[in-house]
Amino acid sequence: MLPLLSYVLFSLAAFIAYFFLSGFIWGAGYYPTSRSEIDSAAKLLELHEGSRFYDLGSGYGRMIIAASERFGAYSIGVEIDPVKCWWTNHAIKRKGLEKKAKVLHSNFLDVNLEDADAIFVFLTTGTNIMEKLHSKMNKECRDGTKVVSFEHKFKGWTPLKKEGRLFLYSIARPDVERTTKVD
């Protein structure tokens, strides 16, 4: 009985440790975004039926599932950790969202973002990952693509809005001509 109990407790402790600490292995810690933060991010990103939405570093998939299930977006999670991808795939199937959401097991720096309408990130400033992503989005994303970053600002980019711990940006491509409307 005692060895079985120790085995169960050890497995539970290992699972909890992996859940919270595995993000550090892959470049960002793990703190699950709350439901109200998810709702605020979805509203800032103006998610609606047909929006093409990316969560870059999608963790266990909470954000992409909510974006598809409650806001009607077509969601793509990109996650480097295979265990989180497996978990997310399982959650997508359990909820019957296969036509509205998917997760790619990949480094998001290798994923083309030119079709994105809206992007969510919750990363770290402890590495240069946000700088690399910033320059990739500037080169690749369409003019007007909305980006929300949770907790951390992108250096060299002025947010349009700050709401709680969410920073909203809109990509302005230098090659797009802007006109001022005169009445």
Is the Cβ–Cβ distance between 49 and 38 less than 8 Å? no
Instruction: Find the binder of ligand SAM among 79, 145, 146, 168 (CB under 6 A).
Output: 79
Instruction: Find the binder of ligand SAM among 40, 44, 45, 59 (CB under 6 A).
Output: 59
Q: Which helix (H) or strand (E) holds 65?
A: helix 62-69
Instruction: Find the binder of ligand SAM among 122, 154, 157, 167 (CB under 6 A).
Output: 122
Instruction: Find the binder of ligand SAM among 18, 27, 97, 125 (CB under 6 A).
Output: 27
Q: Does 108 engage in binding with ligand SAM (CB under 6 A)?
A: yes
Residues paired with 7 in a beta bridge: none
Q: How many residues bind ligand SAM (CB under 6 A)?
A: 25
- Pick the stretch among 10-18, 80-88, 155-163, 164-172 that binds ligand SAM (CB under 6 A): 80-88
The contacts of residue 135 (CB under 8 Å, 6+ apart) are none
Determine the length of the chain. Answer: 183
Residue closer to ligand SAM, measured from CB, 115 or 143: 115
Helix 62-69 / helix 82-94 crossing angle, nearest 10 deg: 20
Q: Does 92 engage in binding with ligand SAM (CB under 6 A)?
A: no
Q: Does 100 engage in binding with ligand SAM (CB under 6 A)?
A: no
DSSP annotation of 76: E
Q: In whole angstroms, give the CA distance from residue 40 to residue 54.
A: 16
Q: Does 33 engage in binding with ligand SAM (CB under 6 A)?
A: yes
Q: Does 102 engage in binding with ligand SAM (CB under 6 A)?
A: no
Q: In whole angstroms, give the CA distance from residue 165 to residue 50.
A: 26
Q: Does 149 engage in binding with ligand SAM (CB under 6 A)?
A: no
Helix 62-69 / helix 35-44 crossing angle, nearest 10 deg: 60
Is the Cβ–Cβ distance between 131 and 155 less than 8 Å? yes
The residue number whose beta carbon is nearest to ligand SAM equals 57
Positions that interact with ligand SAM (CB under 6 A): 23, 26-33, 55, 57-59, 62-63, 78-81, 84, 107-109, 122, 129
